[in-house]
Structure 1
Amino acid sequence: MSGPRTAPPKRPATDTASDVVRWAAFSCVPVPVVLVWYGTSIAEAISATLGLAAVTWVCRVLLRESERGAARLPAEERAPHRGRHSGTGAGAHRGGRHSGGNTPVD
């Protein structure tokens, strides 16, 4: 018989956005070398590298915003929502037609 089982040690949460950006930045490095190796001019290779770097930067910004939104979501679920439509019962204080009114019908 073995002793009591213990939970496996928790690994730190990986920062997937940083990993993606790191790999994207790394992949921008060999691009000019490969392009020049296959006969592209240095100016075209540099412009392609700058374009890839710009796309990488934009993706990094979007990933960070996505992470912030995902982090805010659980916080909003815990807090009570006090928005425009909260606190009203089913149909209370709302406009529109009312059933069973006191006006005569012709």
Structure 2
Amino acid sequence: MSAPRIARKHPEPDRASDVVRWAAFCCVLVPLVLVWYGISTAAAISAALGLTAVTSACRALLRQSERGAAQLRAEERTPLGGRHSGTGTGAHRGGRHTGESAPVD
């Protein structure tokens, strides 16, 4: 009889970092290929700068998206009924309570 298998939890791979690494690799590879095929060095450098700018913007957006997703997951895990549980629209909130006939300033 074999021993029971213990389920090991593997960490999820960081796909955003993989994408950024491949994009950085392409920022180097594309200008080299362009020069190889006869494009001027200045055009290859400007292509590299453009790819670097796009890669940086995409990286920033990916990181922002990851932070937002992590925040949503954290909010889903918090139990309801805490101090700031959101009791509804005005129910059980402090403030001034006026009678129906009293004018409100």
Question: Normalising to structure 2: TM-score of the pair?
Answer: 0.71
Cα distance per residue 1:35-74 (max 9 Å; x no partner): 1111111100000010001111111111111111111012
Give the superposition deviation at 1:87: 1.8
Identity over aligned residues, as a percent?
A: 59
Deviates more, 1:10-19 or 1:36-45: 10-19
Which residue of structure 2 lines up, in the alignment, with residue 51 of structure 1? 50
Q: How many residues align?
A: 89
Which residue of structure 2 lines up, in the alignment, with residue 104 of structure 1? none
- Rounded to whole Å, the distance in 1 between the matches of 2:50 and 2:25 is 14
Q: Which amino acid aligns with 1:35?
A: L
Instruction: For 1:54-65, list aligned pairs within 5 A.
Output: 54-65=53-64
* 3-state SS of paired residue (2:9): coil
- Rounded to whole Å, the distance in 1 between the matches of 2:20 and 2:73 is 25
Which residue of structure 2 lines up, in the alignment, with residue 99 of structure 1? none
Which residue of structure 1 lines up, in the alignment, with residue 15 of structure 2? 16
Q: Which amino acid aligns with 1:25?
A: A
- Rounded to whole Å, the distance in 2 between the matches of 1:40 and 1:60 is 28
Structure 1: which 4+ aligned runs deviate by more than 3 Å?
A: 79-83
* 3-state SS of paired residue (2:10): coil
Instruction: For 1:1-106, list aligned pairs within 5 A.
Output: 2-77=1-76, 78-80=78-80, 82=84, 86-88=86-88
Question: Normalising to structure 1: TM-score of the pair?
Answer: 0.70
Unaligned runs of 5+ in 2: 92-105
| Change in CA separation of 1:75 and 1:8 when aligned onto 2, cut-off 3 Å | closer
Deviates more, 1:49-58 or 1:29-38: 29-38
Which protein has the larger Cα radius of gyration, Structure 1 or Structure 2? 1
Unaligned runs of 5+ in 1: 93-106
